[in-house]
Amino acid sequence: MAGRTCRAADEPLFPTQTGKMLSRDALEHRLAKYVEIAARGRPSLQRKRITLHVLRHTAAMRLLRAGVDASVIALWLGHEHIETTHVYLHADLELKERTLAKTTPADTAPGRYRPSDKLLAFLEAL
């Protein structure tokens, strides 16, 4: 395999020594090992939860924030249904705010809604 620049589509991205696909547990174990090594130089990593799922979610969120369409992200993640990918859309408050800003009437000041003191007092009295 030395010197090869690409792999066949049916070859696993992370193969075992025999060329088979690594199990999810084996991948998690390797990730934990390298996170531990990286934490020696960056102690703040010890306080972070770094898993394959977190890395996958982070990649999806970065693609979403970069403007990549959710249907493309769904294909990239291997989701059978785009509805599965919508979880990422619901999780991104910044994306929601940008979308709302596009629908705000022209004569409305930008920013989040700030209730009046009178409204807050009413709600607190309930």
Whether 24 shows a pLDDT value over 80: the answer reads: yes
More confident residue, 84 or 91: 84
Whether 1 shows a pLDDT value over 60: the answer reads: no
CB under 8 Å to 102, separation ≥6 — which residues?
none
30-78 tens-digit pLDDT: 999 999 999 999 999 889 999 998 898 888 888 888 889 888 988 888 8
Task: Evaluate the CA torsion angle 39, 42, 43, 47 in order and state its sign.
Answer: negative
Task: Evaluate the CA torsion angle 57, 63, 69, 71 in order and state its sign.
Answer: negative
The answer to pTM > 0.75 is no
Which range scores top for mean pLDDT: 34-43, 92-101, 117-126?
34-43
Specify whether the CB–CB gap between 85 and 57 falls below 8 A.
no
Specify whether the CB–CB gap between 60 and 77 falls below 8 A.
yes
Which amino acid appears at position 62 of this protein? R
Q: Where are the domains of the chain?
A: 1-48, 51-95
